[in-house]
A and B are shown apart, each in its own frame.
Chain A
Amino acid sequence: MTVPDALRATGLGFRYRAKGGWILRDCEFAVPTGCITALVGRNGAGKSTLLQLAGGLLRAGAGELRVLDAVPGTPEARARVALLTQDKPLYPRFTVADTLTMGEKLNTTWDRTGAERTVREGGIAPSARVGELSPGQRTRVALALALGKRPELLLLDEPMADLDPVARGEIMATLMAEAAERGTTIVLSSHVLPELEQTCDWVLLLRDGRIELSEEAGELRDSHALLTGHRDQAGNLAEPHTVVRRRDSGRQTTALIRQHGPLRGDWHVERPRLEDVLVGYLQAGETQRTAGAGRTEAAA
């Protein structure tokens, strides 16, 4: 193994208090370097916790997480990994120029022109106080701070949450350019699934603190099928395929399956978009929880 994984977890677990519930549990996955990874999960699934663990802000309670083969929080990892947390904290009384100077002082490597360009592209005056910027502009300054250290691995926690669609597109373009030019590995958590379709080439899906998927995006999309057909033949699906999610309405059944081998029966087959697959997995946990045993039996 010559190129280390960007992220590698073995038996990773985390909880805030010794007697508290596990936020993350038994996570096993590896994210290769050089790709853009979408970290997907519902609220409270543990996305922020995972990113903060990787950024060295939290310490694993069980197992191990490695970033670029380094232990998060060590000087080596700090120099190579940048993390932008969800609240994008900045000093409100600093000017934008002060904030970038701070980045220059705090980091061993610093790309001044790059950081200044990121800010300028957002039309932000260097003399403006951070506290007086709009949320979108603040995100851009925080992103400039993260990009300025020239990280090999960039961790972004909901970077687009408070941006308008235009700003979103611009920021995304900045990120794509960064990834393309320097081969930066990017892991970003997001709820905006359609946007991930074009940008991401790896998917990490968290559900209730456990890793549900860690897979190449294209493969994930291609291996799934969206079926519509008569309810009577639904029983045939479970073997040899994996039913991710199934919904019965009247005599009709729609199902998202991971296909293993040829399909039997009379089904209308659609190739799902990445978004459909992800939503399917996100909803799957819900159906099991709310629908209870009855429907699971029917599916078996």
Chain B
Amino acid sequence: MKGSLWLAWRQQRMLVGVGLAVLATAAVIAAYSRSGMLDALRSGLFDHCGTGPLHCAQTGTGLPLLLDTAPLKVLGALNIALPVLIGVFWGAPLLGRDRELGTHRMILAQGVSRGQWFASRFGLAAASTTVISGLLAGVFAWWWRPAADRSYGLFWYESTVLNGSGPRVVAAALFGLAAGTLLGLLVRRVLSAMGLALLATGATALLLEWAHHVRLLVPPLTYTSPGSTPKAPMGDKWSTGHYGLTTASGHREDVMNCPFPSGSRLSDCMDRHGYVARFYEANPAGDYWAFQWTDTAVLGGLALLLTAVTMLLLRRRI
């Protein structure tokens, strides 16, 4: 096992090095940019801003007042792309390169068993992936904290935050690795395996993004309020874009049937139409973790499943 680990390290040290270099770069930029953010916040410029999603305006010009979150979003995008990059450049060649060159026969003819050959290289790749993706997600979380859920910062439901932070980043990276590894075993050419890994991981990322938007796995809450009093503010909740008026039977209708602010005119209009309440659908900020854990379960489960399939096929294919 020690020998095959040496070989795994010898062949993957480049990838580990690149991963660590990216991580170090991200950490340096994060430290620099975050201290800039803190300075801006300490200047008192943002003190009058509310907690809601509406931008607060600069005194004088009336332009929206924002922190510079562009580099933070870039790190979020990198974290989103991580499963694709790892699947294509780490997973696909992991077994695929040996299969293409036939070198697995040379390795297995030495003192190495199939199990050791797979376990050492996949184990090293999975451990490196976990550490690098986990630290990248950690850097993002630390960097994001001062700007979290503020009108001048980034809300938790924005794609770069929801998909680019938290445990799901690690699960997604491991899924990318497992998918690439399996494809490398199934497809004889590394280049084709890389292309297929790109498709598989990219499609999965898009599918989960869509699932977030339609709230497939984390259903939204419905917030209702009578017409007479102001409704609960949206605040840092993630609106689904569905809102309106409900009848006693629970039927939902367009808000334009009574286009008035809360008060007696709205109450009268609602009584006339038989509406009993106003409603809107949204996920509260606490659902960040519900989204995180469902994604982690789905991607982690897929990663385990694909790894199990790889191990089963190992005996037949190699």
Contacts and interface: CB of A to CB of B under 8 A. Distances in A.
Contact of A78 (B2, B4, B106, B113): B113
Interface in A83-113: 83-85, 87-92, 98, 102-103, 105-108
A149 B106 CA distance: 13
B274 interface: no
B105 A102 contact: no
B111 A78 contact: yes
A142 interface: yes
Contacts of B3: 105-107
What are the nearest 3 A-B pairs in CB distance?
A105-B3, A89-B102, A106-B110
A85 B105 CA distance: 8
A52 B4 CA distance: 21
B103 A89 contact: yes
Nearest to B4: A106
Contacts of A79: 111
Given A105-B2, A106-B7, A107-B3, A75 B113 contact: yes
Interface string B97-140: 00001110111111111000000000000000000000000000
A145 interface: yes
Contacts of A103: 110
Interface string B74-115: 000000000000000000000000000111011111111100
Nearest to A99: B106
Nearest to A85: B105
A108 B11 CA distance: 21
B105 A145 contact: no
21 contacts: A56-B108, A56-B109, A75-B113, A78-B111, A78-B112, A78-B113, A83-B105, A87-B102, A88-B106, A89-B103, A89-B106, A90-B103, A102-B7, A106-B7, A106-B111, A107-B110, A142-B106, A145-B110, A146-B109, A149-B110, A149-B111
Q: Identify whether the interface residues of B are mostly helix, strand, loop, or mixed.
A: helix
A214 B67 CA distance: 83
Given A105-B2, A105-B3, A105-B6, A92 B109 contact: no
Contacts of A106: 3-4, 7, 107, 110-112
B69 to A, nearest CB: 42
Nearest to B109: A83
A83 B109 CA distance: 6
A219 B106 CA distance: 36
Nearest to A52: B105
A75 B1 CA distance: 12
Contacts of B111: 75, 78-79, 106-108, 149
Contacts of B112: 78, 106
Interface of B: 2-4, 6-7, 10-11, 101-103, 105-113
A81 B101 CA distance: 22
Contacts of B2: 105
A195 to B, nearest CB: 24
Contacts of A85: 102, 105-106, 109
A107 B2 CA distance: 10
A221 B294 CA distance: 75
Interface in A229-269: none
Contacts of A83: 105, 109
Contacts, number: 64
B7 to A, nearest CB: 6
B203 to A, nearest CB: 31
Chain A contact patch, size range: 20 to 34
A57 interface: yes
Contact of B10 (A84, A90, A102): A102
Given A55-B109, A149-B111, 17 more contacts: A57-B109, A78-B110, A78-B113, A79-B111, A82-B109, A84-B109, A85-B105, A85-B109, A89-B101, A89-B103, A102-B10, A105-B7, A106-B112, A107-B3, A145-B106, A146-B109, A149-B110
Interface in A131-175: 142, 145-146, 149
A206 B105 CA distance: 23
B222 to A, nearest CB: 56
Nearest to B5: A105
Nearest to A109: B111
Given A91-B101, A106-B4, A73 B106 contact: no
Contacts of A98: 10
A217 B7 CA distance: 42
Residue among B3, B109, B112 with the most chain A CB within 10 A? B109
Contacts of A73: 113
B113 A57 contact: no
Contacts of B109: 55-57, 82-85, 146
A108 B10 CA distance: 19
Contacts of A82: 109
A55 B107 CA distance: 12
A105 B7 CA distance: 8
A57 B102 CA distance: 12
B198 to A, nearest CB: 24
A88 B105 CA distance: 9
Interface in A22-55: 52, 55
Nearest to B103: A89
A39 to B, nearest CB: 16
Nearest to A142: B106
A79 B113 CA distance: 11
A81 B112 CA distance: 12
B100 to A, nearest CB: 10
Interface string A54-70: 01110000000000000
B124 to A, nearest CB: 14
A2 B159 CA distance: 72
